[in-house]
Amino acid sequence: MFHLTKTNNRGALAEDRSASHNFGGNNLKDITLPELGWQEFFADQQPDTEFTVGRVILQHKYLYRVVGVDGEFLAEPTGKFTFEATAKKDFPAVGDWVMMTTYPHEGKAMIHGILERKSAFVRQAARQSGSLKTENQIVASNVDFVFIVQSLNDDFNLRRLERYLLLAYESKAIPIIILTKRDLCEDLEAKLQAVDLITFESIPVIAVDNISKKGLEDVQKLITTGTTVALLGSSGVGKSTLLNALMGTDVAATGGIREDDSKGRHTTTHRELFMLPNGGLVIDTPGMRELQLTGDDSMLDSTFGDIEVLIAGCRFNNCMHGNEPGCKINEALDDGSLDYDRFSSYQKLQRELAYQNKRQRQNEMLQEKRSQKRRK
Ligand SMILES: Nc1nc2c(ncn2[C@@H]2O[C@H](COP(=O)(O)OP(=O)(O)O)[C@@H](O)[C@H]2O)c(=O)[nH]1
Ligand SMILES: [Mg+2]
Ligand SMILES: [Zn+2]
């Protein structure tokens, strides 16, 4: 049986040494697949039993840290795998379940394949010089909940929140809104109401103060054993501080520490999956600007405010922007002042929110029915 000790890590990347400690201080020998986030969705794919399955917890350029029931491995894709991969997204990403052959004595493994992803955050990678192609890359996968983190002071912005919600829906993870720095906010109630207005109250919202840890318990409750959460939000909103608070120890660099980046932005530079002391898995990510999430930059840089203004100008209150006369959306699409893709994005977000709203109502109905039965 493979035991995780310092000697096992020797020969691994030096800067990476801390990774093993970060995994919730868990004795990896006793870890189970469900604790790592294994779900029916993955079991249903019936991975070849000649392989060991494991979860990618850290990604370097070529090497990966993977944890399975036999402990932690420094893993590398096989030559065949690399040869057959045609795009960046074919390579493993943090959160992926992979099939490996393991060499327990060396703490090493070879990756043969990736199980189908349940959810994925896609980043449009920088365009290679001399190439017209931009390539999508997976930043985090198999995430159950995405915590959209926004601060209650400077960063609070409803339009930005809408764009993050869209990202969440595109990823297939379930969004939850975390508002940080409530200690620096004097109109909490008004802000909470404003958020509920744009989400139709269909998305849970938690306000926290990461410093005094007020509200942290509510966050913790959501990250049950085996649940994977990704933290998403602009730089400086307190994602890493939140992670540290949840971990009960400083695993991530925070605030003002300029790790790299010539432009002077302080960032979380790599992605890593952490296991919380009470179970539950969290992936910290760099800010959205750094990530350039989604394939469409024009959407990220603008807001939907102009679309809402146009809609308000449509002749009919219930305009569906089809063939109705006096439709400002159609006029703008026709004269090119409104980009069709952006309008599609806007519609998609509205549909998603409406769907969530309906689902929430159904849940509430169900709960009501149950409690009525109980009262009888
Ligand atoms: N007052 C206050 N400051 C916070 C809170 N959360 C984070 N900060 C500070 O905000 C700064 C940026 O936090 P950081 O976690 O690095 O943000 P990240 O870029 O989203 O990871 C740091 O100086 C933190 O101490 C909070 O709830 N209240
Ligand atoms: Mg950070
Ligand atoms: Zn219209």
Give CATH for domain 121-291. Answer: 3.40.50.300
Assess contact for 345 and 167: CB atoms under 8 A: no
Q: Which residue has the higher pLDDT, 309 or 229?
A: 229
Q: What is the pLDDT of residues 41-84, one digit of tens each?
A: 999 999 999 999 999 998 877 788 999 998 999 899 999 998 89
Distance (Å, whole) CA 346 – CA 329: 12
Would you list the domain boundaries of the chain?
6-116, 121-291, 297-375
What is the amino acid identity at position 145? F
Residue with CA nearest ligand 1 atom 28: 181
Kindly state the average pLDDT of the residues 8-30.
49
Q: Which atom of ligand 1 is nearest to the CA of 284?
A: 21
pLDDT band at 141 (very low <50, low <70, confident <90, very high): very high
- If 0-12 CB within 10 Å is exposed, 13-18 middle and 19+ buried, where does residue 87 land? exposed
Cα–Cα distances in angstroms (integers) from residue 362 to residues 43, 356, 358, in the given order: 29, 10, 6
Pocket test for ligand 1, best of 254, 266, 271 (most atoms within 8 A of CB): 254
| Joined tokens for residue 235 | 């730089």
Distance (Å, whole) CA 217 – CA 119: 26
Q: 141 in the Ramachandran plot: left (φ > 0), alpha (ψ -120 to 50) or beta?
A: beta
Å from CA of 93 to ligand 2 middle:
19
Question: H or E stretch including 53?
Answer: strand 52-59
Distance (Å, whole) CA 374 – CA 320: 43
Average pLDDT score over the chain: 80
Q: List, chain by chain if needed, residues with CB within 6 Å of any ligand 1 atom.
A: 180-181, 183-184, 209-211, 233, 235-241, 254-256, 268
**Exposure class string for 228-258: b at 16+ Cβ within 10 A, else e:** bbbbbbbbbbbbbbbbbbbbeeebbebeeee
Assess contact for 136 and 125: CB atoms under 8 A: yes
Question: H or E stretch including 141?
Answer: strand 136-141
Per-residue confidence (pLDDT) for residue 160, from 0 to 100: 84
Per-residue confidence (pLDDT) for residue 12, from 0 to 100: 37
Assess contact for 119 and 142: CB atoms under 8 A: yes
Q: Name 278's Cβ contacts closer than 8 Å, sequence gap at least 6.
A: 220, 225
Cα–Cα distances in angstroms (integers) from residue 277 to residues 216, 223, 247, 249, in the given order: 14, 11, 6, 10
Give CATH for domain 297-375. Answer: 1.10.40
Å from CA of 66 to ligand 2 middle:
22
Å from CA of 37 to ligand 1 middle:
28
Q: What stretches of the chain show up as alpha helix (H) in DSSP?
A: 6-9, 19-22, 40-43, 79-84, 158-171, 188-199, 216-222, 239-247, 288-291, 297-301, 305-313, 328-334, 340-375
Å from CA of 163 to ligand 2 middle:
20
Q: For the beta carbon of residue 268, count every other beta carbon within 10 angstroms.
A: 21
Q: Go through the chain and tell me how many residues it has.
A: 376
Residue with CA nearest ligand 1 atom 6: 238
Residue with CA nearest ligand 1 atom 2: 181
Q: Which atom of ligand 1 is nearest to the CA of 257?
A: 16
| Joined tokens for residue 288 | 């959205």
What is the amino acid identity at position 373? K
What's this model's pTM, rounded to 2 decimal places?
A: 0.73
Å from CA of 213 to ligand 2 middle:
17
Kindly state the average pLDDT of the residues 13-22.
43
Q: What is the pLDDT of residues 27-46, one digit of tens each?
A: 666 889 999 999 999 999 99
Q: What is the pLDDT of residues 256-314, one digit of tens each?
A: 544 444 333 444 556 789 999 989 999 987 654 544 444 333 333 346 778 888 888 99
Distance (Å, whole) CA 163 – CA 345: 9
Pocket test for ligand 1, best of 208, 210, 243, 251 (most atoms within 8 A of CB): 210
Kindly state the average pLDDT of the residues 172-200.
93
201: helix, coil or strand?
coil
- If 0-12 CB within 10 Å is exposed, 13-18 middle and 19+ buried, where does residue 148 land? buried
Q: Name 373's Cβ contacts closer than 8 Å, sequence gap at least 6.
A: none
6-116: CATH superfamily: Nucleic acid-binding proteins (2.40.50.140)
Å from CA of 259 to ligand 2 middle:
10
